[in-house]
Structure 1
Amino acid sequence: MSKPPVATRQRLSEVRYEIRGELARRARELEAAGHALIKLNIGNPGAFGFRAPEHMQRAIADHIHDTDPYAHQQGLPAARGAVAAHHAARGTPGVSADDVFIGNGVSELIDISLRALLNPGDEVLLPSPDYPLWSASTILNDGRPVYYRCHATDGFLPDPDEIEALVSPRTRAIVLINPNNPTGASYPRALLERIVAIAARHGLLLMADEIYDGITYDEARFEPLAPLAGDGPCLSFGGLSKVHRACGWRIGWAVLSGSADATRDYRHAIDLLGALRLCANVPGQFAVPAALSGLDTIGPLVAPGGRLHEARRVVAEACAASPHLRLQVPDGALYAFPGVVGDAARGFDDHAFALELMEQEHVLVVPGSSFNVPYRNHFRVTLLPEPEQLREVFRRIDRVLDRRAAAARHPAPQTATPASAPV
């Protein structure tokens, strides 16, 4: 007798995460069948030949004998102290090690911080496009994502007036992703100051996802949010995964700043949830002081001539040369978010395009609608491959779009349905 299926949580039907979803599962099937794929769906430096810096590796090796016990739920004192000093140096007011929470990557801390904040039906203002973990964590913690739009025509920067118009009595927080994933937008100081003022007027928590804080290009400059927030409650996220190319170590941090009276209860809530999961990965925490006080290893990669800078240049040139693509050139982070235009965009569906590109050209990208936007003519690629490989990727993308544009210009004639024979 067959058993009934195990029921799953209903709210999971509202969650999308195509970065590791259906397309990625199909990619594994193609690889199992012997096809070599170029996978541009995840910002995973180690998969493209990057290594965590040697001084960070050595810091873990030198302390491996200290890594067996659980750590404090907020993290090792030396790691928290290094993060606090790093934030104090860039202007975060009154920050100490007690304000730092170490997690298993920023992903875990996003979930914990929203779980500590939200009651059923509470709202969080999120950018559209967003990194979909923010939407998923809001939904799975019984909140409601409310999106403020970041249009390509505005450099993917939000309109503060629109943000304020979306504030309701149920709004609890404003989330900023800066530099942005997936668009690469870097938010200027004046814009951030206006958003800080909105949060202050309405008593909202600011949540700043700054995991790409050291990755900006050319004249773009990263502006941390907490110094601008002052005594307003602000939770700033960072970690080792991107700037320090140590994704697999799963070390992120959140720094809670602002008035002690305003943040006291929230601090206790985060601490309780952190204690329930005991602690974050201990070995990787020993690399935090080395990462934040050691040699700058990301600067040469994003400077002109550096590998990431060159990859960004190749993508920008490929999109400029294509009749089918338009790109707001990213100012930061590890991604580009091209839009499909012209004849190729007629009837375009980003998921169908991504599947066709993978099946026919063996390139895996992420459909733009996965990032919670209402349009379906964008896709995201990572800038991590070697520049020459990215040239080849965009040659393949153009081949698919050439076929789509030709089909749109010269649709196949439809076969007439024969009339029914008389009875």
Structure 2
Amino acid sequence: MIQIGIVGVGTVGASVARILEENQDIITARAGKEIRVRKGVVRNLSRARDVAIPLTDDVDEILDDPDIDIVVELMGGVEEPYHVVKKALEKGKAVVTANKALLAYHRYELQDVAGDLPFEFEASVAGGIPIIKALREGLSANHIESIKGIINGTANYILTKMMTEGVDFGPVLKEAQALGYAEADPTFDIGGFDAAHKLLILASIAYGIDAKPEDILIEGIEQVTQEDIAFAKEFGYTIKLLGIAKKVGEFVELRVHPALVPQREMIAKVDGVMNGISVIGDKVGETMYYGPGAGGDATASAVISDIIAIARGGKSSPMLGFKRPLESGLQLLERDAIVSRYYLRLVVEDKPGVLAKVSQVMGEQKISIETMLQRPGEGETATLLLSTHRCEERAMQQALHALFGLESVKERPVMFRIER
């Protein structure tokens, strides 16, 4: 028998306990051993919980219990779970976690502590989609050329509703909160930080690169308007919050931001709260992974798949997929060196000569305009919507600064990237 301790019996933890009980027959058959929850840890014992397992508010009752084989960390946060997981590993216990924030900051330290101990984290990225196993095992013969993912269901739900129903950002966010898709403070999801944590985990497995959230480009969806959506539709795009990891020579670019994506691409068709991840390998080509990215049962399914893998007795493959460092020594590409196409929204004075000034600023940065639309604005203003050919991020940022300095530009310019 394999006995587990669950640290954090919230939505996912309760689902793990329930599924292990309800599907005990098939889980035992697949694992070759019976798997039982010995105890769960919660912060507040007085709160009613729909679980039939012993509970405690003392994590040491799990960490110090010699009969517990696997510690399942589902508490959330960064530093507190780091110390819990580290202590569990130091006591020789296998670990399963769904905590992307923990791994975004401490994955390499924990890999060193784990050594040959099983440390699994399939549920940390894209919920029920087995993307970790796909990268670490199924695609291990490939150099990964790029990863492009919709890995936050809340942001995808909001953008999908805005695209399909013509609703503004604010009302859709309130609806998402009412449905339980968004938290009372939604910053983590709509600001791109949740997706960034997941992207960093995938990038470590694909490229062996150690970066923290503060090191990469992260932008949220708060500024997306119906004007942007109208432009996107007119030119055959949809707008998605993407996590992008891309190999560029001896560098890797990592970025999370809203992007205009051609409607013909498979990832553009991932709607609602669903997640989708496109991975391009140098030998296999493009593979696509689709499914629920969150929710108690979907995430618990991934957690239990890791528990079963450990119960089968298989040694953990290297936690982040590399038994030794890549000889190429890939480095993180500086944000300013990223090359992309861009979309801009400018509110300007509606008078002759303004277009010429905008074009002059862009020309001074050697940025070529590809398409432009003008919409009537409020009062004596107009809204310019334009897209560019490929240029460096530093040139675009300098252009944005210069544009905002023009007397004829009445609001701070809004910029999104075009990904194709």
TM range (shorter): under 0.3
Higher strand share: 2
Higher helix share: 1
Q: TM-score w.r.t. structure 1 length?
A: 0.25
Q: Which has the bigger relative contact order, CA under 8 A and spacing at least 6?
A: 1
